[in-house]
Amino acid sequence: MPAEDPFRLDGRVAAVIGSASGIGEAVAEACARQGAHVACLDVDSARASVVAERIARSGGSAEAAALDVRDGAAVQRALDELAARRGRLDVAVSTPSINVRKPILGYSEEEFERVLTVNLRGNFNVLRAAGRIMTARGRGSIVLFSSIRSVVVEPGQGVYAATKAGIVQLVRTAAAEFGPSGVRVNAVAPGVVDTPLTAPIKANPDWYAAYAARSILGRWAKPEEIAGPTVFLASDAASYVTGSVLFVDGGWTAVDGRFKPPGM
C-alpha cells in the first residue's frame, strides 16, 4: 500500500465557487475534511462566511469572500490573490448555475442572456482564471458542473440544457489545452439533487415523485453525494482522469424505460 492516501488533499488550496449553499457548500466541506484549505467564494458572501466558519469550528481550514462569476476581472483577481496569499492554487471547483424553466417560445431575450451569462460565461471565467494560474505552476485540477441535461432534455429545459452541453465542450477543450502543462479539467454531471435550485420541483409533490422514479435508485440525491465524486476528481486518485464527464445521476441516463417486462 502507498504511504499516502491519494484521495487526501492535505496541503492543497481549493477554491470552491458557489459554496454558500447546495452542492457547492457540500463540496467545500468535503474538501476541508480531506485536508485542503478551502476558499468559500460566492455572490452571497454572508452565507459563504457561515460555511467557512462551520468548517473552521470542525477543525478545518477555510476562508470566505464575495465573488460574482459574471465579472471576469473579479474572478481573476480573487483567484490570483488567493494563490499569492496561500502560495498555491491546486483545485478550483465551480458550481454556480441558474435555470429559467420555460418553453423556448416563451423565453425572453433577457432570460436567455441571464442563464447564459451565469452558466456559461461565469464558468468560462472561472476556467480561464484558474487555468492561467495552474498552467503557469504546472499542476492543478479544475472541476466544472454540467448536468444530465447535457444529454437528455424535457420541455422547458432548452436554454439550461444548452449551457450544460456547452460546459462539457469547454471542459474537453480546456483539458486538451491545459493537459501539456499538467492541469486536469473535468466535469461532474448530477441528476436531480435536493438544492435551492430544485426547490420549485420539490414543492410540487407529483413532479418531485416523478423525478425520483426516473432514477434507478428511485430517489433524489443529497448534495453530499455529489461532493464525494467531485473531491475524487480534485484529488490525485484521479491523476489520469481529464477531459471526462462524471455522471452522478443515480442511473438516470443509463436506463431507457421503467417498464419491467414479465418474467424479468
Catalytically annotated residues: 160
- Residue 258 banded pLDDT, cuts 50, 70, 90: low
Task: Measure the CA–CA gap between 95 and 93, rounded to whole angstroms.
Answer: 7
Output the pLDDT for position 2.
47
Cell numbers given for 115: 442563464
pLDDT band at 260 (very low <50, low <70, confident <90, very high): low
The tens digit of pLDDT for each residue in 98-148 reads 999 999 999 999 999 999 999 999 999 999 999 999 999 999 999 999 999
pLDDT at 70 over 50: yes
Beta bridge partners of 248: 190
Confidence check: pLDDT of 26 > 80: yes
Half-sphere exposure of 108 (CA within 13 A, CB side): 3
Write down the pLDDT at residue 1.
37
pTM: 0.94
DSSP secondary structure string for all residues of the chain: --SS-TT--TT-EEEEETTTSHHHHHHHHHHHHTT-EEEEEES-HHHHHHHHHHHHHTT-EEEEEE--TT-HHHHHHHHHHHHHHHS---EEEE---------GGG--HHHHHHHHIIIIIIHHHHHHHHHHHHHHHT-EEEEEE--GGGT---TT-HHHHHHHHHHHHHHHHHHHHHGGGTEEEEEEEE-SB-SGGGHHHHTSHHHHHHHHHHSTTSSPBPHHHHHHHHHHHHSGGGTT--S-EEEESTTGGG-S-----TT-
User: For 13-245, CATH number?
Assistant: 3.40.50.720
Q: Sketch the domain layout of the chain as residue ranges.
A: 13-245
